[in-house]
Each structure stands twice: as C-alpha cells, then as structure tokens.
Structure 1
C-alpha cells in the first residue's frame, strides 16, 4: 500500500468522513505521493525555498496512484512545489479510493440528493489502518521508522492534525514532545536529511496553499 493510501485511512474516520474537519486531504495526498516518487528516485526537488520539481525517470511504476501523479509531473516539470500541490490533476484521491475499494478496505457510498450528501468511503476492513497505527505508535515510543512512517508523521504534523489523528498512539506525549519525535523520525531513516528537506518543502507548500488564500479572504471581508 502506498503512502497516500495509508494517509487517506488516517485522515478518514470509520464512517467515511474526514477525521479532522478543514484538513486539505487532497493536497496532503499529493504531497505523500510526491514523497513516494522522490524516494523511488523518479522525481527530485531542486534547491530553493520553494523548489521546482524535476523528473528523473518517467517510466511507469505499475502502481496506479504513483503513475497518475508521475504522468502529471512530467507535464508540469519545472513547476514550483507550492503550485503543484494545489493542482487538482495532481490529487490522487479518486485513484486512492478506487485502490482501497478494490482491496476491500473501504466501501464507496455514492453522493445523493444532487451532491448535497457527499460521497462516503466507510471502512470495511479495519485491519490495514490498525497495522499502520501500530507501526506509528512503535515509532513514537522510540522504534526505528521506515521512510513511509516518517513521511506520514511529518505530513500529519505539517497539517497540524498529528495530535488529534494520533491521539491514541501519542497518549502520554505533549504536543511539543510529539513534534520533537516526528522531527527525529525524519532524520532516522537511511535517507534522513534528504527526506526531511523534501518533507519540509512539501509541508511548506501545503501551509502556503492553506494559509495565504485564507488570509486574503479574511482581509477582503
């Protein structure tokens, strides 16, 4: 299961709605998939405060979610990361949901009443999310993280929902302790500093996408 699918499960409650209202799930899934492509050495980010994405290897991976985002990355090569995460065609949520439904992890309940009742993706098999949470709990108490674990934690932290989404897994930790452990985890993987720089850039792009439009809207009201 790719990182975007794991992140989707964490950001969605068992009834198929968002675990935390206001979370920009689509942008987060884009960031998670770009991180996977970075780790797979298919793309890279150049130096800079708002780095531009470069495609290293455009060969399909055979994974629908990664291949959809990779194809779009080829089209948008050289684009700033802050722009990419807001690109609706970089959002792999439909592909993520389709893959999870194919695996029997979630069901898809179509939207009703002309869209007034949105589509829901209730959990059918809680096993995969339970395993993800067990992994993350082990990392938070000092275990060795995988690159996917570090990415999940860093994006949740960047979204500002880590403490809420991982309430059970971080029980007994203060918000500052959780933040410190997340930062440590991103340095403990084999590609630690490179991954941390990439995740920091992705999180900055997500924050810019959320905060700047909100500030503009607030200033114009």
Structure 2
C-alpha cells in the first residue's frame, strides 16, 4: 500500500469523514505523501536548494493508477517549487486514492450529507489495514519497532500538519504534544534512508503551513 493510501486511512474517521484536526489541511498532506511515493518509485527528484524544485526523472508508467495519474498531472508542472506543488489542488490525489481503497475493500462509498449535499462519505469497510498500520506506528513511537521509510514519512507529514497528537491519540499514550514532536524529530533525524526526500517534503509542508497561517495570525492580531 502506498504512503498516501495509508495517510488517507489515518485522516478518515470510521464514518468516512475527514478528522476535524486536518479538515482544512488534508490536501497538503496527501499531495506531499504522493510526491514522496513518486520519489521513492524513482519517478521524480527534488533539488538541493533552500526552496527545492521538482523534476521528472522518468515518465514511464508504474502500473499504479494513483502514481500514474499524479505523474501525468505533474509533467506540465515540472521545475516548479515543491512548496507551490504541495498546495496545488491540481495534484490532489483524493479521487484516485479513494477509488483504490474502495477496490481493495478498505472503504465503501456511502451517502452524501443532508439532502444529497456535501462530499461523498467513504466509511471504513475493513478496519484491519488501519489497525495494522496504527499498531506499526505505535511500536515505532514506543521504540519497539524499526521504522520504515513509510512510517517516518507518515509521522513527519502528520507533525507538519500539526495533527500528529490528534490523529495518533491511542498510539501516543500519555506522550504530550511537545514530547511527541521531539520523538518524531528524533526518529526522522536518525534515519539515513530517504533523508533528502523527507527533508525536502517536510520543509515544503512547513513553509506552506506558515504561508497559510500568517494571514490568519495577522487578522487575529489586527482585530
């Protein structure tokens, strides 16, 4: 299962709605996750500049509809800064991710909101994959399991969305939000595998979040 698919499972409540902690930021996390997936599959690379850009390494299809759809959308955007791509609705993988999870039997298509308005709900049909994933992340946070690149990417993305503590309540135990942040930073800093990819994506999400939150902070200060 791709990192973006695992992230989507974490961000959904059992009733098929996105967790309130990330309701406004889901896009940034899932775009970042699918870009990590593409990088790990050798299709894109990130420059080593302070504000990294994204280049296409291979346009050959992977055979995975999520990766191939995103890659096609990304081709005309090659050379753009990662920070701008993370916030681009054009790269939102939501539809293909949901379709993939439905095909796998993890999610099922449900109803929309009142009177057919609102987005379609996709409640959980098979809880087993998410339970395995959460058990894996709990072991990583507790230090009893060796983290994979997927684990580190998921933890980093959740932390950069300021949602790690809210999404991983049970897996964190009594760890405070501050200690959880330190723990995730410790884990990601100590991993030699994929550091360049992780750092580039983490920096992009962090910068995007600052850009998004700054107007809100300024408005609050003025009022």
Q: TM-score, normalised by structure 2?
A: 0.89
Q: Are 2:170 and 1:168 aligned?
A: yes
Per-residue CA distance 1:131-173 (angstroms, 9 max, x = gap): 1101100100112110000000000000001011101101021
Q: Could you tell me how far apart the structure 2 residues matched to 1:37 and 1:220 are?
A: 42
Q: Could you tell me how far apart the structure 1 residues matched to 2:115 and 2:45 are?
A: 41
Match of 2:124 in 1: 123
Q: TM-score, normalised by structure 1?
A: 0.90
Q: Could you tell me how far apart the structure 2 residues matched to 1:219 and 1:65 are?
A: 41
Match of 2:12 in 1: 12
- Counting matched residue pairs gives 221
The answer as to whether partners of 1:20 and 1:161 remain within 8 angstroms in 2 is no
* RMSD between aligned residues: 2.2
The answer as to whether partners of 1:43 and 1:57 remain within 8 angstroms in 2 is yes
Alignment of 1:127-206 (within 5 A): 127-142=128-143, 143-206=145-208
The answer as to whether partners of 1:82 and 1:209 remain within 8 angstroms in 2 is no
Structure 1 unaligned spans of 5+: none
Structure 2 unaligned spans of 5+: none
The answer as to whether partners of 1:106 and 1:125 remain within 8 angstroms in 2 is yes
Match of 2:209 in 1: 207
Per-residue CA distance 1:179-206 (angstroms, 9 max, x = gap): 1221122234442532331232232244
Deviation at 1:35, TM superposition (A): 0.9
Structure 1 residues 76 and 192: CA distance shift in structure 2, 3 A = closer
Match of 1:58 in 2: 59
Match of 1:45 in 2: 46
